[in-house]
Amino acid sequence: MPALILDGKAVAAETEAELLERVNELKALAQGKTPILATILVGDDPASATYVKMKGNACRRVGMESLAIELPKSTTTDQLREKIDELNNNSEVHGILLQHPVPSQIEERLCFDNIALEKDVDGVTCLGFGRMSMGEPAYGCATPQGIMRLLEYYEIPIEGKHAVIVGRSPILGKPMAMMLLQKNATITICHSRTKDLPKIVGEADILVGAVGKPEFLRAEWVKSDAVVVDAGYHPGGVGDIELKALADKVSAYTPVPGGVGPMTINTLIKQTVDSGEKSLRN
């Protein structure tokens, strides 16, 4: 039986229609004001510029506004923090996104943590991660939160399942583990020093590939009927998992492209709308 395709592109499009309605209702209540996402791009990295443009386009599709801030590659940590402070103090801004990566002279973690909790719609601050991990209100990191929304949409059972996450980045692997743990999955986090990785991957009921290497996780490692989530994207349209051989083996999987990627941006936009509603309805 062919696997269920966890179609992030379709879910994101459906959610955008719902968000457009919410934004229009908010405009009517707030004298035409809309949620505003501020994006900060430091330097001239072409890929980062493309991602920022995509996020601006997503804002416009749901009737939101975006504020694009471009800073030179020579920007210092203090200068970037000053700009973030300005946005923190700007009541018209409801979400702040600092595009990763930033130039090497900037202390990225210090700048991420300068973002006010209530505007951390990308879920990148230590405070936001800690609150999310403790089950307290916070916006989750956009990619893992998008994955959780996708699993929920397709009613994928999580409670009691063994979830294996390959990758331990602070904005993907680690928060992914905490989110699945809160849904009562049993968690194994694998990384570059994990021994006998194929064996552990083969025990996964839910496998999340977040290792950042093209097709690093082989199809023969994955057990039948597993749910496979590929959070990677690389040139040639491949992810972190060898997906082609899994279509008739696993129970469900995210395609690459069109699976996790659309849900990441969609979650960022949704959380900005959530933040805007909290502010503009007061």
Q: Which of 7, 83, 99, 240 is catalytic?
A: 99
Q: Collect contacts of 42-47 with beta carbons under 8 A, ≥24 apart.
A: 42/71, 42/72, 42/73, 42/75, 42/80, 42/98, 42/99, 42/102, 42/103, 42/106, 43/71, 43/72, 43/73, 43/75, 43/102, 43/103, 44/73, 45/101
Averaged over 49-60, what is the pLDDT? 94
Residue 275 belongs to a domain: no
User: Is 127 a member of any domain?
Assistant: no
Question: What distance in Å separates the CA atoms of residue 162 and residue 178, rounded to the nearest whole number?
Answer: 13
Distances (CA, A) of 193 to 52, 93, 131, 241, 254: 34, 42, 28, 18, 26
Asked, for residue 81, whether it belongs to a domain, the answer is: yes
Which amino acid, residue 40? I
Q: Which domain holds residue 165?
A: 142-261
Residue 12 domain-assigned?
A: no
Do residues 111 and 147 share a domain? no
For the chain, what percent of residues have pLDDT higher than 70?
A: 100
CATH assignment at residue 223: 3.40.50.720
Residue 182 vs residues 150, 185, 240: alpha-carbon distances, Å: 16, 7, 25
Report how far apart, in Å, the C-alpha atoms of 207 and of each of 162, 224, 233 are.
9, 12, 16
Q: Is residue 241 part of a domain?
A: yes
Residue 1 has pLDDT above 80, yes or no: no
Active site residue 55: yes
Is cis: bond before 101, omega within 30 of 0?
A: yes
210-261 confidence digits (pLDDT tens): 999 999 999 999 999 999 999 999 999 999 999 999 999 999 999 999 999 9
Tell me the pTM.
0.96
Rounded CA Rg of the chain: 19
Same-domain status, 114 and 154: no
- pLDDT tens for 145-160 read 999 999 999 999 999 9
Q: Give domain status of residue 229, yes or no.
A: yes
Residues 33-50 pLDDT 10s = 999 999 999 999 998 999
pLDDT for 146: 98
One domain, residues 174 and 257: yes
Is there a domain that residue 214 lies in? yes
Q: What is the pLDDT of residues 84-133, one digit of tens each?
A: 999 999 999 999 999 999 999 999 999 999 999 999 999 999 999 999 99
Active-site residue (options: 55, 119, 161, 270):
55
Q: Are 90 and 73 in contact (CB under 8 A)?
A: no
Would residue 79 show up in a list of annotated catalytic residues for this protein? no
Q: Are residues 148 and 245 in the same domain?
A: yes
Rounded (10°) CA dihedral 255, 152, 127, 78: 30
Residue 99 designated active-site: yes
Q: Are residues 102 and 168 in the same domain?
A: no
Q: Examine the domain organization and report whether 152 and 245 are in the same domain.
A: yes
User: In terms of domains, do 165 and 96 share one?
Assistant: no
Number of domains into which the chain is organized = 2
pLDDT at 2: 87
The predicted structure's pLDDT at residue 74: 97
Beta bridge partners of 166: 190, 209
Same domain as 97, residue 177: no
Of the residues 7, 83, 120, 122, which is catalytic?
Answer: 122
What is the rounded average pLDDT of the residues 7-15?
A: 98
Which two three-digit tokens encode residue 17?
């229609």
- Residue 271 inside a domain? The answer is no
Q: Do residues 146 and 48 share a domain?
A: no
Q: Are residues 147 and 110 in the same domain?
A: no
Specify whether 158 is located in the same domain as 114.
no
Shared domain check, 243 and 151: yes
The CATH number covering residue 44 comes to 3.40.50.10860
